[in-house]
Structures are given as C-alpha cells and as structure tokens.
Amino acid sequence: MELLKQYLDIAVFGVLGLMSFLMLAYTIERYVFFSRVEVHRFDDQHTLYVALTRHLTIVASIAANAPYIGLLGTVLGILVTFHDLAQAAELSAATVMLGLALALKATAAGLAVAIPATLFYNALVRRTDVLTAHWQSIKNRT
C-alpha cells in the first residue's frame, strides 16, 4: 500500500501527461496536413478518407479514455485514504476531507485532458468532412 501511496500521483499524472502530449502532437500534425493537402491529387474517395482520418483514432481514444484514467486515480486515492484512516489511531473529518480532495484531483485532470481532446477530434472530423466534400465537388465537375 505504501508503494501505491508513494507513486499514485506520479503514475496517474504521468499517463495523463503522455496522453495530453500525444493528443496535441497528433492534432497539430493533422492541422498541418489539412492545410497542405491537395485533394484534387487523390483518385478515389477511399484513399482520400484514409489519408484524412490518419491518427484521428488516437485523438478519439484519448478523449474517451482520459476520464477513466482520472477515475482510476480517484478510486485508488480513496482506497489509500481509507487505508490510512484504518491505520490511524483517531478519526477526524479534516483528515477524511483532505484525502478525498486529493483523490478527486485525478478526476479533474482526466477531464482536463478529455474535454480538449473531444473538441479537437470533432474539429478534425469536421475538417475531414469539408475536404471530402471539396474533393467530391471537384470530381463531379470533371
């Protein structure tokens, strides 16, 4: 239990930090790609779709799973708090509240990662739809 208590925050915030980094990196990469893509060079819609949606699954997975990483950190933090309470000689409301408040920071961090990831994913999907529609209008003219 001491190992969990010592490394819980580092593990949870490390994973969430990595998820944030990957989400931002792939989002920036997609925006750069979208700004440079020449849709008229694609011969079929399937190839265009594959090129446009590359890495979007990663952004969506981060958006979907970051709250669960935060929730896991909160549950484990509460578990540590209850363990510490069971080991303590006296029970005080301040000790319980402090432990619970510290545990809830993991959920807040998970949401802080998931909300922007969801927004970025939706914006990227919208841009994919716009570029696909642009390709279709070009192909319909020819």
What confidence category does residue 94 fall into, taking pLDDT thresholds of 50, 70 and 90? confident
Single pTM value for the model: 0.89
For the stretch 63-74, pLDDT in tens is 999 999 999 999
For 136, the 3-state DSSP assignment is helix
DSSP states of 6-19 as a string? Answer: HHHHHHHHHHHHHH
Give the model's pLDDT for residue 30.
98
Residue type, 80: V
What confidence category does residue 141 fall into, taking pLDDT thresholds of 50, 70 and 90? confident
| 106 vs 125: CA distance, rounded Å | 28
What does the block give as tokens for 67?
């709250």
